[in-house]
Amino acid sequence: MLTGAEMHALVERMYPFCRSITGDGVRETLAVVGEHIPLRLHEVPTGTAVLDWTVPQEWNIRDAYVADAAGRRVIDFRESNLHVVGYSVPVDETMSLAELRGHLHTLPETPSWVPYRTSYYSPAWGFCLAQDVLDALPDGDYRVKIDSTLADGSLTYGEHTVPGQVGNEVIVSCHICHPSLANDNLAGIAVAVSLAQALAAEKPFHTYRFLFMPGTIGAITWLARNGERVDRVKHGVVLACAGDRGSLTYKRSRRGDADIDHVMAHVLKDKPHEIRDFSPYGYDERQFCSPGFNLGVGSLTRTPYAGYPEYHTSADNPGFVSPESMEDTLDTLRTAFSVLDRNRRFVNLSPYGEPQLGKRGLYDSLGGRSDAKDAQLAMLWVLSYSDGATSLLDIAERAGLPFDAVDGAARALQAAGLLKE
């Protein structure tokens, strides 16, 4: 499992890659992920019908710049891949500054930052730059060059599976289509890699499927290609904005009462956090929760998308994310999935009156334990509410007891022949 420092180093390593919804930057990113966890790559050809969408042409870019009359690059793709609007068509022209302005994007309110802009599904081109730089450009003619290609190719995504004791699946999804943006979503990729390593070492109950895909079209493509698998997906989390210094935010599934919603609320209650209801705006929880699928998939971020000034700007750089924040996101997910894996429902096999625990050695086993009172109470609560419909998490919250105490009580009672899962 990666440490916070190692996750941050992974963010720094992937930061320069020019990612988009297709192309070699995506493949380069997945190759780095594949150095840490086994990854199955999928290439879906341009023109493939995926639900109501079609896989677009593949975009790649080699160079781009705007140069003044002296040949000096005043906007340079080599300095930052944010300088070019994603999916820009090829351009090789000379034009006046007045004509060029219609293709330039800035952030006047933060004049030293460069915005992130895309034009995925309509042919266009453009450059992004700091307002300060634009203000300093003199009138005159400029050489405009975008050395890019839009051609039939494929959409690339990666999958990693951690086998569980059962075939029911938990999906962890993060998008890989953003260029040099550290929090959105390189931090999510790094946390997902470390989480996958941790789960593999723990031999989990559920099977965990990690999806590294371009936003929107990637999730739609995966759903279109995995219709026979969707019924196995019982829980899921879309992971994004995982490294900023804000507190954690969980967005419920469209159902609002899915097991993952219950578990995340329980795990987050003892730390600063916010829980939001589902809305059809955001990341790929929109696709997993669309009415035809309606999966129990929520979204975990720190500060939510568009909720911090640095969002989709050059200020979302490796210095904006912290190792400590990524570790906190990782620890929260590990705790949540531990609860999810252990949150079973039991039936009391001795429901007529309270069974005698002493003769089964259950009270004696508590002697000397610092949590003996909690453990004893937990046994009584588990016996009282194990009706086949009430989960251990339901019992823990009703009793006001730690989940670990209730889970331990259930294990002891099951071993004594008093409970059946």
Report pLDDT for 369: 53
Residue 103 annotated as part of some ligand binding site: no
Residue 227 and residue 310 in one domain: yes
| Mean confidence (pLDDT) of the chain | 96
Residue 152 annotated as part of some ligand binding site: no
Boundaries of domain holding 412 = 345-420
Residue 137 and residue 196 in one domain: no
Report pLDDT for 363: 72
- Distance, in Å, from the CA atom of 110 to the CA atom of 301, rounded to the nearest integer, reads 24
Report pLDDT for 260: 98
Residue 303 and residue 171 in one domain: yes
Residue 249 and residue 303 in one domain: yes
pTM: 0.95
Cβ(56)–Cβ(217) under 8 Å? yes
Cβ(297)–Cβ(289) under 8 Å? yes
Which regions of 252-301 does DSSP assign to beta strands (E)?
273-276, 297-301
The per-residue pLDDT for range 349-393, each reduced to its tens digit, is 999 999 988 888 887 655 455 566 778 899 999 999 999 999 999
The per-residue pLDDT for range 252-309, each reduced to its tens digit, is 999 999 999 999 999 999 999 999 999 999 999 999 999 999 999 999 999 998 999 9
Give just the sign of the alpha carbon dihedral 203, 208, 213, 215: negative
Tokens standing for residue 322? 């912290």
What is the count of structural domains for the chain? 3
Identify the domain boundary among 108, 131, 151.
Answer: 151
Give the CATH number of the domain where residue 168 resides.
3.40.630.10
Measured at the alpha carbon of residue 253, what is the angle toward residues 248 and 254, in degrees to the nearest 5?
Answer: 140
Cβ(215)–Cβ(44) under 8 Å? no
Residue 264 and residue 276 in one domain: yes
Residue 333 and residue 259 in one domain: yes
Identify the domain boundary among 280, 309, 342.
Answer: 342
Residue 312 annotated as part of some ligand binding site: yes
185: preceding bond cis by omega (within 30 degrees): yes
- Distance, in Å, from the CA atom of 25 to the CA atom of 86, rounded to the nearest integer, reads 12
Identify the domain boundary among 326, 342, 358.
Answer: 342
Token look-up 């802009």 returns 117
Residue 196 and residue 118 in one domain: no
Residue 298 and residue 375 in one domain: no
Tokens standing for residue 369? 């334990």
The DSSP element (H or E) to which 420 belongs, if any, is strand 419-420
Q: Which residues of the chain fall below pLDDT 70? A: 364-372
Residue 308 and residue 352 in one domain: no
Sorted by sequence, the CB contacts under 8 Å of residue 67 that are 6+ apart come out as 73, 74, 142, 143, 145
Give the CATH number of the domain where residue 132 resides.
3.50.30.90
Residue 129 and residue 158 in one domain: no
Residue 165 and residue 297 in one domain: yes
Report pLDDT for 130: 98
Residue 199 and residue 247 in one domain: yes
